[in-house]
Structure 1
Amino acid sequence: MTTRLLSLALIALTATPGFTGAALAAPSLAQKAPSAPGGPEDKATAKPGPETHGLAGPYLAARQAAIANDYRSAADYYLQAMTQDDTDPFLQDSALVALISAGEMERAGALAVTMTDQGRATELARLMQRTELARAGRWQDLVNAIDKAPPPSTRDDVDEVAPGGNQLFDKMMRAWALLGAGNARQALSAFEEMGKVRGARPMVNYHLALAKAAVGDYEGADKLLEDKSAGAHILGVIARAQVLSQLERNADAIKMLEETPGFEEEPHLVALRDRLKKGETLPFDSVRTPADGLAQVYLTFASVLANSDDPDPLALIHARLASYLAPDLGEARLITAQLLQGFGQFDLAEQEFDALRELGDMRPIAELSRIDALTRADRLDDAEKAALSLTAAHPELAQGWIALGDLLRQQDKFAQAIPAYDKALSLIGTKAGEARWFPLYARGIALERSGQFPKAEADFRAALKLRPDSAQVLNYLGYSLVDRGEKLDEALNLIKRAVELRPDDGYILDSLAWAYYRMGRYDEAVAPMEKAVSAMAGDSLVNDHMGDIYWMAGRHREAEIQWQRALSLKPEQESEAQRIHAKLDRGLDKVLAEEKANGGKLPTPRATQTPADSTKN
């Protein structure tokens, strides 16, 4: 997940000496579950889990679902377990975590009320109730709730790793609540005081700028937002454009927008620029109510917590609460969707992407990320639909057409992929240089697999002119020439160069060995093929090639072992399995002779026997 997409993960914040994400995170919102119900734990530090008598089934099912990030199932199972014991704070808090993570906010709110009424409110229950107060506009009640909360040092559910880590969050929430309660001067003073916290200034100054703009102090807001450490993210850019426009500085706003990295890839920013060029004065609607400001507090913390290779699960809770407070805050929807994708919850993620589209906020960069995640999850049909939607909504975006071509190519729809790459290359233009090499290479593959090798060869050679040391292109062109029996000396040199660049790449070593094989240099083919098999022991085709090379090198017994190994790895195509069976039955020499006499194909494919069938003979 890129820093651009996590648009509120402020770079300056994490670069500040002494700053850690944990230092700003809210406290741990659920007790850590025991390693196993009733299992041994450190008696001095362990927090008790629930008694499992009478509820072991749903409790264990809930734990398993939670481990798998299956939030809906976890919530249902925890609630089912609570029918056996509706007063256990561990079950209640675990259910609350799962409900919020699943986006079931009404049920979460009701449970938080129950926990409070029972006198068992956890940190998350209090946070949920504060959010409900903000949604209802009960700002003074929210201020009072924050003021009456026990200090962090007395709470038994505060994360000991970050003592007092929730204080900044609470103070930012309180400042927005003060603004909502009509105490603007106190609210602004509170933000200014928070800016003195080491490492927190960029984050706080962004919110101070929003608060100043919300009360009409646009000059003060602009002074804060022009500092890139505070406003160098998409919401900050939008807010500053609106502020500058309110100051009758449309020209400055246009310049600022157009100098923003990735500007052309953000349709919303382009639309703002176009409105400014028409002389329109943009309204300041980045924060329409204090609830919007508070939603951005949640979003800020969600972004910080998510800005790592292993996102904190609390990031999802903060993102969900941000969306709950401000349902049309696209950034909150986006980070929620990306986190859900990262946790493998693609159905829940799709709901957030659908919500973004309903808001008219289909961002190309976000959609490309979504397409990539769906592809990696092997949901190619969904990924293809997403790519088609992206190219329909933004036909001017070359990366969308490349993504569509890649998806079609991965599904062996090579002829359909070619026009997608054609469109991408036409949009990139002939003078783009390096940007053309990948779509040229990808289109070359699609052309070659579609039986249009002369055109494919032209694309491969054009890609090599742009990137002469591309091992992928060198290997693909060289292997294609070898497979066709054309320009074998050049093909061998191309593959040798690819091996020099990637000496441990099993696919390239296989190509080198196969080039030697096709040239009749069988003894020279053995060593690289053995290295390829060592690198790719689970690949059926590589083992099949090893068998062919052993056979032609006179090592027939070893060849048969490799062919058996290839069969055990279940070749992708039935024709491949049939050919291996034929080689095991009659030997490679006879199979090659039969294919030569029959136009390159086996005359009568042999039906594949199962191990059970073979024992009957």
Structure 2
Amino acid sequence: MSGAVQAQDAPPPPRPDNLQAPATSQDANPEAEDEDAPAPEAGPEAPVEEAVGPVDEAPAEPDLPPAPLTMGLAGPYLAARIAVVENDFIVAARYFKQAIAHDPGDPFLQDSALVSMISAGQMDGALELAQQMTSDGKDGTELAGLVLRAHYAQAEDWDGLLAEIARNNSEGAEGGPQGNNLLDGMLAAWAKLGAGNATEALADFAAMAKVPGAAGMLDYQLAMARALAGDYEGANELLSRDGADSHLMGVLARAQVLAQLDRRDEALALLDGVPAGASEPQVVDLRNRLDAGEDVTFDVVKSPRDGIAQVFLTFATALASSPEPEPLALIHARLASWVAPELGEARLVTAQILQMHQQYDLAEAEFEALRRLGQVRPVAELSRIDSLSRAERFDEAEKAALALTAAQPDLPQAWIAQGDLLRQQDKFSAAVPAYDKALSLIPEDQGDQRWFPLYARGIALERSGQFDRAEADLKAALEIRPDQPSLLNYLGYSWIDRGENLDEALKLIQKAVELSPDDGYIQDSLAWAYFRLGRYQDAVEPMELAARSMSADPLVNDHLGDVYWMVGRKREAEVQWRRALSLKPTETEDDVDPERIKAKLERGLDAVMAEEGAGPSHAPVTPTTAENGTATQSE
């Protein structure tokens, strides 16, 4: 994905039926090559020809209710720390600023406030605080210095930026600012180019490229600098190296460079090789201009300021690519957007990191900025739909999904997103045609692209009472992904619940447990399979494991009560049923009927089951999101 951040651990919507394939998954990513590939280096968006309006920075602190009474320093500090744990950056910034008022010189409080303010997009306030921290000759902190660097770059004050780098590296590694500090080295090289010292700037980039592991990143930066300086031959040589044009912005940059060298045929061939390029507006626009013989300029980087924004974005993408993204990933993404507000890729990366932190309203502000830029890429809209749905802003999400399918009717991921959104709202029958359309657009031989919509449609069909079609889809998906735990679990329990293929069904669920032993929902399914088969003693251990990991789930507690009852532990069963009731379950949201639990407490499970004439049913747990082609369970 071009500059896009993987959203591995973004929590799913609340119920197990809300299968959802986010825009950052393998299946929704027309540029991804394999599900385990690291996030590529980020490059800038193409320039905007007609923006709808000015692109402002993220909104300042909104109107909040009056702060609770807090005495002295401890109150606001503790409130800020709680907000940090919850990733509520706006509230954290508010309380850290209150704490600083009680202890103005504490660098820890100042740095914590900076982190929260930048994360919330409050860049003016962050700059003011950073300037206070470094006033009157004070050293400040590394983060304060980073904010000042970005400020000088935004203002194109190259002398100020070089002085700030020199000040912070005066006692650093041998060799000056470059030393072992790649970030400062790249910032300094771009500043030198901005100050008119192109020869030294290019030499600095070339020297840094020799740092082990930095060649790919530096080749791209040096190529951008050479192209900006008019050395298109040198830029093309660098971009032709392995990996230098492996992301979308690198491809666009090289195509523009080839156009400057009057090698349009090569540029067209390069663009034709972009996976799903027909759904990338920037690729289509550049290709059309090249094909029509129109003038094409190099404008992927228009100034050293853009180059510096790219540096911050590259670090943000690298820091965000791990399963547990570094907090500095969001800081660098925010700084990239601040230095170059028109850099759409930075807005997208910022939004996706905010999604990881469940800050969906802040993410929507970044998606809205992208729309005002006139840079509505499918990957951005898919992420936006996902963000809106997770924030339960369903009306807006549906409008966005309908707009995307209308604008990109041949993009299967758009139809998958629409189907996921309908399923999240329990509109199972309505979701089926969306998945039908998606599957009609994906060739039969592209199994990695087909398994998820097959799985999703299968669940939609099963939940809307069309089991024969559902079974066929689930089997087809399982042929593609035979080791997908959630898929094994769903098909296995569907059979168990219907009393069909019992031996094979149990084997599927047991395999799912082997593949994902820590998944409480799959343990719950195994226990409930044993229960439905009358193997009550076998059900105890997996049911207890499920309850241990999901103690706040009313369905799991209800099931544990049933299992305990059937093995004669009736007092413990009643405790679990009362706990399930204390969690205030609803039949719609939790698949738990509170009246049935009350009846079990009054008359016992045996009597209730005898009255019903059948054992209790349990809908198989379904995943809510597919990350890199791997479904995850809802919580």
TM-score (norm 1): 0.74
Q: Counterparts of 2:168 and 2:573 in 1: how far apart (Å)? A: 70
CA contact (8 A) 1:153 1:164 kept: no
Q: Counterparts of 2:480 and 2:111 in 1: how far apart (Å)? A: 57
What one-letter code is carried by the residue in structure 2 that aligns with 1:72?
I
Worse overlay, 231-240 or 192-201 = 192-201
Q: Counterparts of 1:328 and 1:427 in 2: how far apart (Å)? A: 34
Q: Secondary structure at the match of 2:213?
A: coil
Structure 1 residue 103 corresponds to structure 2 residue 121 = yes
Task: Report the CA distance shift for 1:456/1:57 in structure 2 as closer, same or farther (over 3 A).
Answer: closer
Q: Shift of the alpha carbon at 1:280?
A: 3.5
More helix by share: 1
Q: 2:512 aligns with which of 496, 502, 511?
A: 502
The match for 1:184 is 198
CA contact (8 A) 1:7 1:234 kept: no
Q: Counterparts of 2:410 and 2:205 in 1: how far apart (Å)? A: 43
Task: Report the CA distance shift for 1:228/1:510 in structure 2 as closer, same or farther (over 3 A).
Answer: same
Task: Report the CA distance shift for 1:427/1:99 in structure 2 as closer, same or farther (over 3 A).
Answer: same
Q: Counterparts of 1:111 and 1:176 in 2: how far apart (Å)? A: 26
What one-letter code is carried by the residue in structure 1 that aligns with 2:40?
S
The match for 1:205 is 219
The match for 1:241 is 255
What one-letter code is carried by the residue in structure 2 that aligns with 1:102?
A
Structure 1 residue 112 corresponds to structure 2 residue 130 = yes
The match for 2:621 is none
Task: Report the CA distance shift for 1:392/1:531 in structure 2 as closer, same or farther (over 3 A).
Answer: farther
Q: 2:336 aligns with which of 309, 322, 326?
A: 322
Q: 1:582 aligns with which of 588, 599, 602?
A: 599
Q: Shift of the alpha carbon at 1:165?
A: 6.8
Structure 1 residue 7 corresponds to structure 2 residue 21 = no
The match for 1:607 is none
Worse overlay, 281-290 or 259-268 = 259-268
Q: Shift of the alpha carbon at 1:251?
A: 2.0
CA contact (8 A) 2:279 2:408 kept: no
Q: Shift of the alpha carbon at 1:414?
A: 1.2
The match for 1:569 is 580
Q: Shift of the alpha carbon at 1:189?
A: 2.6
The match for 2:433 is 419
Task: Report the CA distance shift for 1:573/1:69 in structure 2 as closer, same or farther (over 3 A).
Answer: closer
CA contact (8 A) 1:510 1:542 kept: no
Q: Secondary structure at the match of 2:593?
A: helix
> What's the C-alpha RMSD, in Å, of the aligned pairs?
4.0
Structure 1 residue 227 corresponds to structure 2 residue 237 = no
Q: Counterparts of 1:198 and 1:392 in 2: how far apart (Å)? A: 47
Task: Report the CA distance shift for 1:388/1:561 in structure 2 as closer, same or farther (over 3 A).
Answer: farther
What one-letter code is carried by the residue in structure 2 that aligns with 1:137?
E
The match for 1:39 is none
Task: Report the CA distance shift for 1:267/1:510 in structure 2 as closer, same or farther (over 3 A).
Answer: farther
- Which has the greater radius of gyration? 1
The match for 1:47 is none
Q: Secondary structure at the match of 1:231?
A: coil
Q: Shift of the alpha carbon at 1:70?
A: 3.2
Q: Secondary structure at the match of 1:186?
A: helix
Structure 1 residue 529 corresponds to structure 2 residue 547 = no
Q: Shift of the alpha carbon at 1:88?
A: 5.2
Q: Shift of the alpha carbon at 1:240?
A: 0.9
Structure 1 residue 256 corresponds to structure 2 residue 270 = yes
Task: Report the CA distance shift for 1:7/1:472 in structure 2 as closer, same or farther (over 3 A).
Answer: closer
The match for 2:530 is 513
Q: Counterparts of 2:525 and 2:606 in 1: how far apart (Å)? A: 26
Q: Secondary structure at the match of 1:197?
A: coil
The equivalences for 1:270-309 within 5 A come to 270-309=284-323
Q: Shift of the alpha carbon at 1:437?
A: 3.8
Q: 1:361 aligns with which of 371, 375, 393?
A: 375
Q: Counterparts of 1:184 and 1:352 in 2: how far apart (Å)? A: 34
User: What are the superposed Cα offsets for residues 527-576 of structure 1, whole Å, 9 maximum, x if unpaired?
Assistant: 4433442343356556666777888x7x6x54685366245323542873
User: What are the superposed Cα offsets for residues 472-492 of structure 1, whole Å, 9 maximum, x if unpaired?
Assistant: 56664565455456xx4xx22
Q: Counterparts of 2:269 and 2:573 in 1: how far apart (Å)? A: 65
Q: Shift of the alpha carbon at 1:411?
A: 3.1
Task: Report the CA distance shift for 1:545/1:226 in structure 2 as closer, same or farther (over 3 A).
Answer: same
Q: Counterparts of 1:401 and 1:382 in 2: how far apart (Å)? A: 16
Q: Shift of the alpha carbon at 1:453?
A: 3.5
The equivalences for 1:468-487 within 5 A come to 476=490, 479-480=493-494, 483-484=497-498
The equivalences for 1:458-473 within 5 A come to 458-463=472-477
What one-letter code is carried by the residue in structure 2 that aligns with 1:494?
E
The match for 2:151 is 132
Structure 1 residue 400 corresponds to structure 2 residue 419 = no
CA contact (8 A) 1:472 1:498 kept: no
The match for 2:185 is 171
Q: Secondary structure at the match of 1:228?
A: coil
CA contact (8 A) 1:543 1:566 kept: yes
The match for 2:63 is none
Q: Shift of the alpha carbon at 1:218?
A: 0.7
What one-letter code is carried by the residue in structure 1 that aligns with 2:428?
F
Q: Counterparts of 1:109 and 1:279 in 2: how far apart (Å)? A: 46
Q: Shift of the alpha carbon at 1:384?
A: 5.6
CA contact (8 A) 1:475 1:511 kept: no
Q: 2:327 aligns with which of 309, 313, 331?
A: 313
User: What are the superposed Cα offsets for residues 324-375 of structure 1, whole Å, 9 maximum, x if unpaired?
Assistant: 1111112211222222233343322221122122223334344445555666
Q: Counterparts of 2:558 and 2:109 in 1: how far apart (Å)? A: 55
Q: Counterparts of 1:318 and 1:543 in 2: how far apart (Å)? A: 43
CA contact (8 A) 2:165 2:188 kept: yes
Q: Shift of the alpha carbon at 1:293?
A: 1.3
TM-score (norm 2): 0.72
User: What are the superposed Cα offsets for residues 199-247 of structure 1, whole Å, 9 maximum, x if unpaired?
Assistant: 3333222222111111211111000111124332232222111111121
Unaligned segments of structure 1, at least 5 residues? 11-51, 517-521, 602-617
Q: 1:72 aligns with which of 90, 93, 97?
A: 90
Paired-residue identity, %:
53
Q: Counterparts of 1:305 and 1:266 in 2: how far apart (Å)? A: 25
Task: Report the CA distance shift for 1:58/1:370 in structure 2 as closer, same or farther (over 3 A).
Answer: same
Task: Report the CA distance shift for 1:270/1:178 in structure 2 as closer, same or farther (over 3 A).
Answer: same
Q: Counterparts of 1:411 and 1:333 in 2: how far apart (Å)? A: 28
Q: 2:230 aligns with which of 197, 203, 216?
A: 216
CA contact (8 A) 2:202 2:222 kept: yes
The match for 2:169 is 151
CA contact (8 A) 2:313 2:332 kept: yes
Q: Which has the higher contact order (CA 8 A, sep 6+)?
A: 2
Unaligned segments of structure 2, at least 5 residues? 7-35, 44-69, 515-521, 618-635
User: What are the superposed Cα offsets for residues 33-54 of structure 1, whole Å, 9 maximum, x if unpaired?
Assistant: xxxxxxxxxxxxxxxxxxx995
Q: Counterparts of 1:583 and 1:53 in 2: how far apart (Å)? A: 50
Q: Shift of the alpha carbon at 1:431?
A: 5.5
Q: Secondary structure at the match of 1:317?
A: helix
CA contact (8 A) 1:130 1:142 kept: yes
Q: Shift of the alpha carbon at 1:77?
A: 3.1
Q: Shift of the alpha carbon at 1:461?
A: 5.0
Q: Shift of the alpha carbon at 1:283?
A: 1.5
CA contact (8 A) 1:543 1:562 kept: no
Q: Shift of the alpha carbon at 1:86?
A: 4.7
Task: Report the CA distance shift for 1:342/1:94 in structure 2 as closer, same or farther (over 3 A).
Answer: same
Task: Report the CA distance shift for 1:196/1:401 in structure 2 as closer, same or farther (over 3 A).
Answer: same
Task: Report the CA distance shift for 1:134/1:545 in structure 2 as closer, same or farther (over 3 A).
Answer: closer
Q: Counterparts of 2:81 and 2:610 in 1: how far apart (Å)? A: 61
Q: Secondary structure at the match of 1:288?
A: coil
Q: Shift of the alpha carbon at 1:468?
A: 6.7
